[in-house]
Chain A
Amino acid sequence: MSASGSTSFDRAAEYYDETRGLTDAAVREQTGLLAGELRGRGQTLEVGVGTGQVALPLVAAGIPMVGLDIAEPMVRVLIDKAGGMPFPLVLGDATGLPFADASFGAGVARWVFHLIAEWRSALGELVRVIRPGGVALILLGSYGRGPRAQIQDRFNELLGLANEPVGIMWGDVETLDRAMTELGATPRALPLLTDVEAQPLAVFLDGIERNRYSWTWRIPPDELSRVTPEVRAWAVERFGPLDGTPEHRFELAWRAYDVPIAGR
């Protein structure tokens, strides 16, 4: 964690794209939805751009992007994927954006604010750098209520840990709406996208055991190994063979926050 309490994904760069992401179909839908909101607004800042899963397809769709991330290794992966810096990529902390007020026409952040202790400051910063009349598009991190969420809960239960991320609660749109409203932005629902789990639960469980998810990073590795067999057995009972992929759709509840034209 940085001094300001933002979690860096330095350690996750190597395997991030392997363990996170959407199916190609969902990426297309997501890109269409976001590009529709962003087109004609000028430059869009993505906070927590990471390996570029959101931004690279947006750039390909003609949206002028600028990306910021706290983790150099993640940005390095993006640059390597693109064969050079495809759009401006800045290293920095979301709680102190190195941009002037009203520098951007829009902002995007996906799966970011649960990783930032001072997530309210980060939201304030995002709103600050967006011009009046612009929009912030946010998707909170969440496993929804499917098998993955249940497996995560089971781990926490066995370890006696609260299922609370460093930053905003998983998928807590109500709290996000309130915080953004307090910052003067107006919440707006966007069409709900869904995706299917593409990876077998065995891969997810392996990833957990190998400490590949940010919620496992606070758990000592021996503790994690201690409870994994039990969770595995429990998961087989509940969801069937782990090398299968349980039929489960999860929601991608992107929200739009309109920054008013006149300041409040």
Chain B
Amino acid sequence: MTRTGSISFDRAAPYYDTTRTPDEASTGRVVDLLAERFAGSGHVLEVGIGTGQVGLPLARAGIDLIGFDLSAAMMAQLRQKSTGDPFPLVQADAIRIPFADRSFGGAYCRWVLHLISDWTDALEEMDRVVSPEGPIAIEPGGLSGVFAEVYLRFVELLGDAVRLPGLDLIDREAQLDDAMDALGRRLADVVPVTYERKASVAEQLDRIPTKVFAWTWDVPDGDLRAATDDVRSWAAARFDIDDPVADLPTPWRFYTRAA
């Protein structure tokens, strides 16, 4: 592991939404799901709210949201997208959440924990600021299927430079459930939300040298290009890299504390 601490997405703010926006329908399903689960919860916290892809529509759906992010630049994008006052946005690190114990009726994070070396501390903090009866929802992101295979090939070639500091990108669900269990929170529910956007491995490989993904940020440009060429030939020999592949379901995991 080359990095410790929590990775700020400052550098990704200008392009984040153009490279990471899921299709509208699946975002809608995520928002409906969270709106239903957090209805009547009082204030709800989004950890790593970023540009507000989930938070803005969720607030519009009537959830009383508060968001924080390590990157002010990402939240500046959120503010630009919102009409009028958005909900309160705080700059903070997930391993030291700046709220009192049991402040929230629920909390969630999406695509965050792989970026935090002390990700279990972040979970502990989420648990601390959420009331015992409130749910915590997590969509860890990460990589599945051919995309996981491709990434593992990069790990073979480039080693620790492409390892992110936090929750494992591939073996994430078991790790997450175990860490929550240690905090006294059980997995209550798993809700898959299938993204409709499809991407081919070739398209994905085209984007890797542009360094839009956090796991590429520590690799020198030349090394990344060389490795990408290598992985492309390796992949082409194994699968049809031009075939659009649906992203595998990335389930939302809901954790509750036993009464």
Contacts and interface: CB of A to CB of B under 8 A. Distances in A.
A75 interface: yes
Interface of B is mostly: loop
Interface in A59-104: 66, 72, 75-76, 79, 84-85, 88-92, 98-100, 103
Contact of B100 (A42, A75, A100): A75
Contact of B98 (A76, A84, A92, A103): A92
Given A42-B85, A84-B42, A91 B100 contact: yes
A84 B131 CA distance: 9
A193 to B, nearest CB: 29
B103 A100 contact: no
Contacts, number: 56
Interface residues of B, number: 25
B89 A85 contact: no
Given A88-B66, A88-B88, A103-B89, A98 B98 contact: yes
Nearest to B72: A100
Contact of A43 (B85, B91, B101, B105): B85
Given A75-B100, A84-B42, A98-B98, A90 B75 contact: no
Nearest to A103: B89
Kindly name the residue among A89, A90, A98 whose own CB sees the greatest number of chain B CB atoms within 10 A.
A90
- Give the most central of B43, B102, B103: most A CB within 10 Å: B103
A111 to B, nearest CB: 20
B100 A99 contact: no
B104 A85 contact: yes
A89 B89 contact: no
B42 A98 contact: no
Interface string B217-233: 00000000000000000
B12 interface: no
A76 to B, nearest CB: 5
A89 B90 contact: no
Interface in A165-181: none
Interface in B58-98: 66, 68, 72, 75-76, 79, 84-85, 87-92, 98
A99 B98 CA distance: 12
Contacts of B103: 79, 85, 89
B213 interface: no
B100 A72 contact: yes
A90 B42 contact: no
B98 A91 contact: yes
B111 interface: no
B43 A100 contact: no
10 contacts: A43-B85, A85-B42, A85-B100, A88-B87, A91-B100, A98-B68, A98-B90, A98-B91, A99-B91, A100-B76
Given A88-B43, A105-B85, 9 more contacts: A43-B88, A76-B100, A79-B103, A88-B88, A89-B99, A89-B103, A100-B72, A100-B89, A103-B88
